[in-house]
Amino acid sequence: MVRARSAVIIGAGAVGMATAYALARRGLSVTIIDENPQPAMGASHANGAQLSYCYTDALASPAILKNMPGLLLRRDPAFRLHCRPDWRYLAWLARFLSNCTPRRFEKHTLAGLRLARESFRAMDDLTAAHDIDFGLRTNGKMHLLDDQQSLERARYTVNLKNGQCGKQEILSPGEAIAIEPALEDRRADIAGAVYSPGEQVGDAFRFCQQMAGILAASYHVQTCFGQRVARVDPGQADTRIELASGDILTADLAIICAASSSGSLLTPLGITLPVEPMKGYSFEMPMGNGSPTTSITDTRRRLVFTNLGDRMRVAGLADLGDRQAVLRENRMETLIKLARQSLPDAGRFDQASSFWAGLRPMTPDSLPIISRPMPGLAINTGHGMLGWTLAMGSGERLAKLVGAD
């Protein structure tokens, strides 16, 4: 394929911004389009804020398959499967279930881990090259395990990764509490923990905002906010991007980084993406006397606590198939209730605010789709719950795929 000299990136979340950076620093003329008035107003806006480079475990797993009857009966308050008479959704579920074998779980987990390591290196290079402040800190991360079965599964996964993501170890309850005293009141409920001291946190919204400035000032990237893309037409000579306003942009390459909205742009081109929204929620609150400094994941309740320095963010829930990014009050109440049960002193729950819901684009194998199906079209989407973690590495892979090196 002929090397692209110009690109229009559709989507200004973490993946879109990382892709723009990867291309622009290699000399391409780049324009970013987003229907929102500023960057990171979708899935990147208020996610868990954790850069979980070691925790790339595929969602489709033997454990999920074992729990499927309970999920279908909605016994798990944190995980909801929305049933719809939609053949594409049912096909997605079938593919997801087919990936719940031990062999495929291992394959996809390790593939995600390789991309995460690429992301870590790319983020390190970015922060060395540019003065960018988005609250990046190395807090370490713990996954709390509440029974012997969970502990054995975690031990198996840690051994599977075999040190490929730096130090990661299984801790006893006492060892976990010695590192994170905020867990003392949960001593009786913890069978152990997986601990990765090198894991980081950062505000994806601030990252995207600052990246927009860096891209404009250092790489002459153009931005077009508040404009919805109506149609993408990859032609022989160039690609036309038609906006809802009627304006037309042209470039050598259009790159779809529009998360769960990517499919609507690709379907008219005969491309069906195996991507379904996995809806998540978050809120923030002031610190409390028992606020953890380490990032905490409660595996049973499917939620995370992230210390952002000046506030505590709690994120969680997984509502598969809910395609509306509206904040459902009953689900937010569930998240707050689960967080209180998990760490009641983690923050000032009575002052909870910044309530958010977003659609995370999930593939059946938990791996993003990074492809170039046509000379004038590329795709970088489907990162699921690891979009913030995998963004920088995905941008680098996309740049190499389109021959930007």
> pLDDT tens digit string along 327-357?
999 999 999 999 999 999 999 999 999 999 9
Q: Which of 84-88, 91-95, 260-264, 305-309 has the lowest mean pLDDT?
A: 84-88
In three-state secondary structure terms, 195 is: strand
For residue 167, what pLDDT is reported?
A: 86
CA distance 111 to 104: 10
pLDDT above 80: residue 204: yes
For 72, phi then psi, to 5°, come to: -65, -30
CATH dotted code for 6-401: 3.50.50.60
For residue 71, what pLDDT is reported?
A: 77
Q: What is the mean pLDDT of the chain?
A: 94
Structure tokens at 186: 């949960």
Residue type, 5: R
Residue type, 154: A
CA distance 285 to 302: 19
For residue 381, what pLDDT is reported?
A: 98
Q: Based on the number of CB atoms within 10 Å of its own CB, is 365 exposed (0-12), middle (13-18) or buried (19 or more)?
A: buried
For residue 164, what pLDDT is reported?
A: 85
| CA-based nearest residue to 285, from 336, 326, 209 | 336
Residue type, 15: V
Q: How many helices and strands, by DSSP H and E, does the chain display? A: 10, 21
Instruction: Calculate Rg over the CA atoms of the chain.
Output: 21
CA distance 45 to 206: 9
Element (H, E) at 219: helix 204-219
CA distance 181 to 60: 33
Residue percentage of the chain with pLDDT more than 90: 89
Element (H, E) at 229: strand 229-234
> In whole angstroms, how far apart are CA 330 and each of 298, 316, 335?
20, 14, 9
Note the pTM of the prediction, 2 decimals: 0.96
Q: Which of the 8 DSSP states describes residue 4?
A: P
CA distance 32 to 69: 43
Contact 285, 349 (CB under 8 A): yes
